[in-house]
Amino acid sequence: MPLCVYRVSSEGSVRNQGKLGYIVDGRVIDSAAAGGPERLANALELSAQDLKTALDGIKGADGVPLESVELLAPIDWQEIWAAGVTYLRSRDARMEESQEKSVYDRVYDADRPELFLKANIFRTSGPGQPVGIRGDSTWDVPEPECVLVINSAAEIVGYTVGNDVSSRSIEGENPLYLPQAKMFDKGAGLGPVIALAWEIDDPANLPITLVISRGGKVAFEGKTSTSQMHRTFDDLVGYLFRYQDFFHGVFLMTGTGIVPPNEFTLEDGDHVAITIDGIGTLENPVVRLA
Ligand code: DO4
Ligand code: MG
C-alpha cells in the first residue's frame, strides 16, 4: 500500500497541485480529506511510527480508482540528494570517462561517501513526463537508482525509483563540472509511487532493471541489485544528516550499478524504463533540451 502524489484532472500545475494519496486495493485515498497528513512534507515531519499509525487510520476511507488519476513525481518541498560511486560498475565507468581517474577510485574506498545535491521538484519529472538531456552535452546516460525517502528524524520511511540523468562528457572533462553534469531542467526522474519501508522485506536485496528503447526496439538492457552496493543505506543517511537538517524530509538517490557501454548515448525520443522489484516501474521519454 504505497503513497503517491497525484492530480485528478489536467487542471492545475504539475509542479505544485499534487495531492498526497494513499493507494489501497487499487483506490487512491485523498490523505488530507481522510484526515491523514495533508502533504508529503507533513508526512515526512512525522516519525515512522506516527506515519504508520496515521495511514492505518485512513485506510478504510473512500478513494477513487487508480486508473482515474494522474500520478506525479512523489515529491513536494524536499531536496533530492544523490550518492555517487557506490557500485563497482559506477567506479569503473567514471575511471574510463574521466581525465582525473584517481578521485573516483579514492572515493569508492573512502569512509566518507560522495554526496551531492541533485534536484528539487522543479527539475524533476514524474511517471510519463519527459526527462531531459543537455543541448551542450555529447554523451548522456540514465542512471537507475533506488531512492530513499527519509523523514526529518533521519528514518528511512520509504523507497522510490529514480533516474539520475547524467552527462558523461561534461563530468568526464573535469570532475568540478559535476553540478552541471547532474543538475538541469528535467534532469531527475522520480516515481511512480513511494513504497513504505515497513512493507519492503529486504531493501538491501532489491533487483533493479533498466530498459532503453529506441524506435520501438530495445537499445540497451541492464540489471543489478541493491545487494551489489559497496555501502549501506544507513551509512549514506548518516553522512547526509551530518550538520544539516531536513525539516520536510529529503530524498537520497543511492547511486547507479548499471552503466551502458561507452559507445552508447541517449538520444531525443528514447524511452527509459526503470524497474525496482517491490516498488514499481518508472517510465519516461527522453527529450533533448533546447
Ligand atoms: O561521481 C559522479 C557521480 C556518480 C553517480 O551519480 C553514481 O554513481 O550514480
Ligand atoms: Mg548517479
How many A from CA of 84 to the centre of ligand 2?
Answer: 5
The answer, yes or no, to whether residue 11 has pLDDT greater than 80, is no
Ligand 1 pocket (Cβ < 6 Å) reads 82, 84-86, 90, 94, 114, 143, 164, 178, 255-256
- d(C-alpha 266, C-alpha 213), whole Å: 10
- Which residue, 108, 202, 214, 211, is CA-closest to 163? 211
Same domain (yes/no): 59, 115? no
In tens, the pLDDT along 43-99 reads: 999 999 999 999 999 999 999 999 999 999 999 999 999 999 999 989 999 999 998
Average pLDDT estimate for 204-211: 98
Q: Whose CA is nearest to atom 3 of ligand 1?
A: 84
Q: Whose CA is nearest to atom 4 of ligand 1?
A: 84
- d(C-alpha 23, C-alpha 122), whole Å: 24
User: Could you tell me the pTM of the whole model?
Assistant: 0.97
- Ligand 1 atom nearest the C-alpha of 143 is 9
Same domain (yes/no): 154, 283? yes
Domain count, the chain: 2
Buried b (16+ CB within 10 A) or exposed e, 112-140: ebbbeebbbbebbbbbebbbbbbeebebb
How many A from CA of 31 to the centre of ligand 2?
Answer: 32
> Domain limits at 148?
80-288
In tens, the pLDDT along 20-45 reads: 999 999 999 999 999 999 999 999 99
Same domain (yes/no): 143, 37? no
Same domain (yes/no): 161, 23? no
Same domain (yes/no): 105, 126? yes
Same domain (yes/no): 160, 215? yes
The residue out of 72, 95, 116 marking a domain boundary is: 72
**Res 101: pLDDT:** 85
- d(C-alpha 277, C-alpha 207), whole Å: 6
Q: Within 13 Å and on the Cβ side, how many CA atoms surround 286?
A: 25
Candidate from 101, 114, 252 with most ligand 1 atoms within 8 A of CB, to mutate: 114
Same domain (yes/no): 27, 92? no
| Residue type (1 letter), 8 | V
Q: For 237, phi and psi rounded to 5 degrees?
A: -65, -40
137, 169 Cβ separation under 8 angstroms: yes
Q: Whose CA is nearest to atom 6 of ligand 1?
A: 84
How many A from CA of 100 to the centre of ligand 2?
Answer: 18
User: Which residue's C-alpha cell is 506515519?
Assistant: 51
* Among the bound ligands, the one closest to the CA of 114: 1
Q: Which three cell numbers stand for residue 78?
A: 524536499
Q: Which three cell numbers stand for residue 110?
A: 573512502
The residue out of 72, 100, 133 marking a domain boundary is: 72
Same domain (yes/no): 188, 278? yes
| Residues by chain with Cβ below 5 Å of ion ligand 2 | 143, 164, 256
257, 227 Cβ separation under 8 angstroms: no
84, 114 Cβ separation under 8 angstroms: yes
